[in-house]
């Protein structure tokens, strides 16, 4: 019994059923006009039709199940869509390996190591746990006890500070006994970055290093502004200033005999009107990097400003290198 036989049976059953239904309809129409005998015949015909339909449905289901079992038991049933034989045992092992690999990768994604070597999970934080028991009440202190403790802290801090001042004072007195001067206002600072000065221009040096106290730099007082490079005169007195500026010229620059650079220490930004300290140097030397140094004394009044300027009077730009220095101190009234 194959599919063609079942299909032929289905067609024959359909034709016979159609004819039977037509006959039953005609008999029913006639039976309504004849005796009860015809009605019994119609009932029997309907019952026969129902039984035949049930038998045919069961027969078709049996044929379909046999065909499906035949396909599963055929030699091609153990091959994949590419025609490669499939081993059930290997398929199961591959499935287990894939599942374990996925689990391990998920675990590795959720774990990471901290700087101290601890393994921490990136899983979402759980709800907070129950609060612990309440601690014992603290010791009760009266106002007098609190004041006594506060006085003790103040006394300890004052003793520590007084001992430090005493050490400094002893050192200062020892130095003064040897004739060393007390520097009320003084500084020695370095330029932080390279500064390019365009041709035929004058520029004020700014942005000095703020890490004073290291590598020999120092500041006495709060009179120097590291950002602007300006020294504000605290007292009317005589001050000594010096500047050491490292200048670099470009290697392929064409030099002329009249090309020169000036380094000035000016008062209140007016280098021409006020008295200033100045040094002039030519650019025709064989060295590509050279140092221009200027120093001298100035009589200043309280509130005036002193800073360093570089005047590039040449046809090429120059570079003032970092670590160029600016120094000043109060030497007397």
Q: Which of 181, 201, 236 is the last residue of a domain?
A: 181
pLDDT of residue 145: 84
- Note whether residue 227 is domain-resident: yes
328 confidence band (pLDDT: 50, 70, 90): very high
The CA distance from 209 to 232, in Å, is 18
- Note whether residue 132 is domain-resident: no
pLDDT of residue 175: 60
Instruction: Name the nearest CA neighbour of 300 among 278, 252, 332.
Output: 332
Q: 203 - beta bridge partners? A: 310
Domain ranges, residue 200: 186-332
pLDDT of residue 90: 74
Average pLDDT of the residues in 292-312: 95
The CA distance from 57 to 63, in Å, is 10
- Note whether residue 37 is domain-resident: no
Average pLDDT of the residues in 301-311: 95
Q: Which of 158, 181, 204 is the last residue of a domain?
A: 181
- Note whether residue 94 is domain-resident: no
CATH code for position 268: 2.60.120.40
Same domain, yes or no, for 160 and 234? no
Pick the more confident residue, 240 or 316: 240
What is the residue-averaged pLDDT of the chain? 77
**Strand, helix or coil for residue 237:** strand
Which of 55-64, 72-81, 288-297 has the least mean pLDDT?
Answer: 72-81
Q: Which of 162, 181, 200 is the last residue of a domain?
A: 181
Same domain, yes or no, for 152 and 280? no
Number of domains forming the structure of the chain = 2
Same domain, yes or no, for 170 and 280? no
| Each residue's pLDDT tens digit, 185-244 | 999 999 999 999 999 999 999 999 988 876 788 998 889 999 999 999 999 999 999 999
pLDDT of residue 285: 64
Same domain, yes or no, for 171 and 254? no
Instruction: Name the nearest CA neighbour of 277 among 246, 239, 313.
Output: 239
- Note whether residue 23 is domain-resident: no
Tokens, residue 106: 């998920």
Pick the more confident residue, 204 or 41: 204
b/e map 197-207, b = 16+ CB within 10 Å = beeeeebbbbe
Same domain, yes or no, for 291 and 154? no
| Each residue's pLDDT tens digit, 60-89 | 777 666 666 555 555 555 555 556 666 777
34 vs 24, 27, 31, CA distance in Å?
A: 14, 10, 5
- Note whether residue 63 is domain-resident: no
**Strand, helix or coil for residue 212:** coil
Same domain, yes or no, for 175 and 152? yes
329 confidence band (pLDDT: 50, 70, 90): very high
139 confidence band (pLDDT: 50, 70, 90): confident
| Each residue's pLDDT tens digit, 85-120 | 667 777 777 777 766 655 555 555 556 566 666 666
Same domain, yes or no, for 275 and 249? yes
Same domain, yes or no, for 244 and 304? yes
Same domain, yes or no, for 159 and 254? no
- Note whether residue 127 is domain-resident: no
Same domain, yes or no, for 167 and 250? no
Same domain, yes or no, for 307 and 193? yes
Tokens, residue 124: 């979402």
pLDDT of residue 282: 87
- Note whether residue 176 is domain-resident: yes
Same domain, yes or no, for 262 and 167? no
């Amino acid at each position: 019994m194959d599919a063609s036989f079942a299909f032929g049976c289905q067609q024959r059953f359909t034709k016979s059923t159609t004819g039977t239904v037509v006959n039953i309809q005609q008999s029913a129409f006639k039976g309504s006009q004849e005796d009860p005998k015809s009605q019994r015949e119609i009932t029997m015909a309907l019952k026969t039709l129902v039984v035949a339909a049930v038998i045919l449905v069961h027969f078709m289901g049996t044929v379909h199940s046999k065909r499906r079992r035949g396909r599963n038991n055929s030699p091609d049933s153990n091959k994949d869509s590419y025609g490669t034989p499939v081993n059930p045992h290997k398929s199961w092992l591959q499935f287990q390996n894939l599942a374990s690999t996925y689990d391990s990768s998920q675990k590795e994604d959720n774990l990471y190591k901290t700087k101290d070597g601890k393994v921490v999970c990136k899983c979402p934080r759980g709800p907070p746990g129950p609060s612990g028991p309440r601690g014992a009440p603290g010791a009760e202190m009266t106002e007098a006890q609190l004041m006594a403790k506060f006085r003790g802290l103040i006394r300890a801090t004052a003793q520590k500070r007084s001992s430090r001042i005493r050490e400094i004072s002893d050192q200062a007195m020892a130095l003064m006994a040897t004739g060393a001067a007390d520097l009320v206002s003084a500084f020695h600072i370095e330029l932080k970055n390279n500064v390019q000065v365009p041709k035929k221009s004058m520029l004020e040096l700014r942005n000095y290093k703020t890490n004073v106290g290291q590598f020999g730099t120092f500041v006495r007082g709060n009179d120097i502004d590291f950002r602007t490079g300006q020294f504000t005169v605290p007292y009317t007195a005589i001050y000594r200033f010096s500047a050491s500026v490292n200048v670099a010229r470009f290697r392929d620059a064409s030099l002329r005999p009249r090309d020169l650079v000036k380094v000035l220490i000016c008062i209140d930004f007016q280098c021409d009107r006020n008295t200033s300290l100045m040094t002039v140097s030519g650019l025709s030397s064989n060295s590509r990097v050279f140092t221009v140094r200027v120093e001298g004394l100035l009589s200043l009044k309280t509130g005036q400003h002193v800073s360093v300027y570089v005047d590039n009077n040449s046809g090429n730009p120059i570079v003032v290198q970092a670590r160029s220095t600016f120094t000043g101190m109060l030497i007397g009234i």
